[in-house]
Amino acid sequence: MSNTQMAWWETAVIYQIYPRSYQDSNNDGIGDLPGITSRLDYIAKLGVDAIWISPFFKSPQKDFGYDVSDYRDIHHEYGSLDDFDELLSKAHDLNLKVMIDIVPAHCSDQHAWFVESRQSRDNPKADWFHWVDPQPDGTPPNNWLSFFGGPAWTWEPQRQQYYLHNFLSCQPNLNHANPAVQDAYKDVARFWFDRGVDGFRLDAVHTINADSEPYKNNQPNPDFEPGPYPQQQQPFFRQLHDSAQLNQPPIQIFSESFRSVADEYGDRYLMGELHGDDPIAASQTFTAPGRLHATYNFNLLRWEGLTVEEIKEAIGKAVSAFNGTGRLSFAFSNHDVPRSVSRQMSALGLGTDKQDALQLLLLKLETCLIGSTCIYQGEELALEDVKDIPVQLMQDPWGIEFAPVFPGRDTCRTPMVWRGDASNGGFSKANSTWLPIDQRHLQRAALDEAERPTSVYNEFADFLSWRKQQPAMMQANTMSELSGDDQVIVFDRISDQQTLRCTFDFNSLTATFEEL
């Protein structure tokens, strides 16, 4: 095996920040960009390579930033472009790369593009979105459904047509079959690359729609079995979606277009979030030459958690498709699913006395795999998922839609806490915060834990420091097949200089490493 010089992103540990919940600097109860800047030292000392900041663009906040009304401006609650430039400068001074979260499939219905498009059938932006006539009986053009419940089509009286939205009705899908839409996103990319951004996490790229005709019906899913959670029982999951509603082949026109801009700027990174009927196959398509650098999917993010054998199976499938490359990013947690340690304690039947050991084991496991890793804020503290947010305090539109039987995504989005003895845990001096503080988190406040030598934060920081000294992990993206019994995961990381056997024992909740 010969090793070649790898790009920074091929082995990166990426720390995801949900800006609304990280640190409030102006005491309005909402996190902001200056707040993030004030905590960059904490992130850098952990030893990660990059930060990924969820959307902070101008937005009506119906889906908390994933409904963008201006891709080139900052939402007023989060600060200003000057605040972002200051954040970027300090991060780079700390040797942290900065990735931001672009939403290419849809925008807000308050974006100027859609405001113009909905006015008539003959304005300059008339075909920037998916406008379709009703069927003869007045019903929507096909059987597509929204992720958040109900049809994926909404009637627009001004145009006397339906428009497509894979999520909320206020999040219309752009028509990526239109070259002008592609050019608009290339301009957005250049705007942020010119400011010095190191890469983009591209939200839900599998939901980009570029097939304009025909709008084929989704087929029934013959393998559908209702899951234990209400969102897994909704009609959306009774359908197969790939090549009809989702993962349409023409999406790759966007991938290639966006990649062409990234290549103009050198070592910039494009990582796409995707899902689908076959996520591994979709990932291979999205990362073909000239497209996205890498993708990550939800194979390790299952809402109810995974058994050890299921973790092994998910990793094994991914590695078999991507071994020898950095074209995949692994994650056990993000802003859309319950926190990893809570999911996995439940799936593995463990009590809270095992919480720290389990979280540290999961962190070590994912950062030993090929490619990059995404760590969600609070994983380094073993923060548990929040329970029992009152319906009247819920913010997530998905959760509100299915309340009270489904808690939505607020449970993993509550504010970070920094000092256990401070008001609101040091997140904010406001009388109230946008989501309630979890009182259990005060026992794991970030700065308190950073000062405690045996905390998950410090043990993980020590591990990341050790990892950076291992040629098998930093100089090649090659690993063996997985082995081990039903409670143990074993694999070798391999480079010309080193073969390192990695063993993760879910009985003892320990990881061991041996040079062969």
Q: Alpha-carbon distance 281 to 277, whole Å?
A: 9
Q: Give domain limits for the chain.
A: 11-107+179-472
Mean pLDDT of 371-392: 96
Catalytic residues: 203, 264
Mean pLDDT of 36-51: 98
Residue 262 makes CB contacts below 8 A (sequence gap 6+) with 189, 193, 199, 200, 268, 269, 270, 293
Beta bridge partners of 99: 52, 199
Nearest to 47 by CA among 361, 300, 331, 363: 363
Instruction: For residue 213, name the pLDDT band (cuts at 50, 70, 90).
Output: low
Residue 358 makes CB contacts below 8 A (sequence gap 6+) with 341, 344, 345, 348, 350, 382, 509
Q: Alpha-carbon distance 12 to 95, whole Å?
A: 12
User: What is the token pair recorded at 329?
Assistant: 């990013």
Q: What is the pLDDT of residues 404-442, one digit of tens each?
A: 888 899 999 999 999 999 999 999 999 999 999 999 999
User: Which pLDDT does position 4 carry in this prediction?
Assistant: 62
Contact 18, 413 (CB under 8 A): yes
**HSE (side-chain half, CA atoms, 13 Å) at 495:** 19
User: Which pLDDT does position 227 carry in this prediction?
Assistant: 76
User: What is the token pair recorded at 30?
Assistant: 């909402």
Identity of residue 304: E
In the predicted model, is pLDDT for residue 1 greater than 50?
no
User: What is the token pair recorded at 493?
Assistant: 């990381």
In the predicted model, is pLDDT for residue 298 greater than 90?
no
Q: Alpha-carbon distance 138 to 13, whole Å?
A: 50
Q: Alpha-carbon distance 65 to 357, whole Å?
A: 34
In the predicted model, is pLDDT for residue 402 greater than 90?
no
Q: How far is CA 472 from the centre of its chain?
A: 27
Q: What is the pLDDT of residues 188-212, one digit of tens each?
A: 999 999 999 999 999 999 999 997 6
Q: Alpha-carbon distance 33 to 208, whole Å?
A: 28
Instruction: For residue 276, name the pLDDT band (cuts at 50, 70, 90).
Output: confident
In the predicted model, is pLDDT for residue 488 greater than 90?
yes
CB atoms within 10 A of CB 284: 15
Residue 109 makes CB contacts below 8 A (sequence gap 6+) with 67, 115, 118, 169, 170, 171, 172
User: Which pLDDT does position 2 carry in this prediction?
Assistant: 44
Q: In the block, which residue shows the tokens 């672009």?
A: 102
According to DSSP, the β-strands at 13-17 and 50-53 are parallel
- Topology classification of domain 11-107+179-472: TIM Barrel (3.20.20)
Contact 4, 498 (CB under 8 A): no
Q: Alpha-carbon distance 401 to 228, whole Å?
A: 17
Nearest to 445 by CA among 466, 420, 479, 475: 420
Looking at every residue in the chain, the average pLDDT score rounds to 95
Instruction: For residue 403, name the pLDDT band (cuts at 50, 70, 90).
Output: confident
| pTM score above 0.85 | yes
Nearest to 374 by CA among 334, 320, 429: 334
CB atoms within 10 A of CB 310: 14
User: Which pLDDT does position 212 carry in this prediction?
Assistant: 61
- Percentage of the chain beyond pLDDT 90 is 91
Mean pLDDT of 158-174: 97
User: What is the token pair recorded at 181?
Assistant: 């839409």
3-state secondary structure of 300: coil
Mean pLDDT of 237-247: 91
Nearest to 334 by CA among 305, 271, 376: 376
State the virtual CA torsion across 413, 292, 367, 495 in degrees, nearest 10: 180
Mean pLDDT of 6-14: 96
User: Which pLDDT does position 186 carry in this prediction?
Assistant: 98
b vs e for 352-374, b when ≥16 Cβ sit within 10 Å of the residue's Cβ? eebbbbbbbbbbbbbbbbbbbbb
User: Which pLDDT does position 129 carry in this prediction?
Assistant: 97
In the predicted model, is pLDDT for residue 297 greater than 60?
yes
Nearest to 370 by CA among 312, 317, 331, 328: 328
In the predicted model, is pLDDT for residue 270 greater than 90?
yes
Q: How far is CA 418 from the centre of its chain?
A: 23
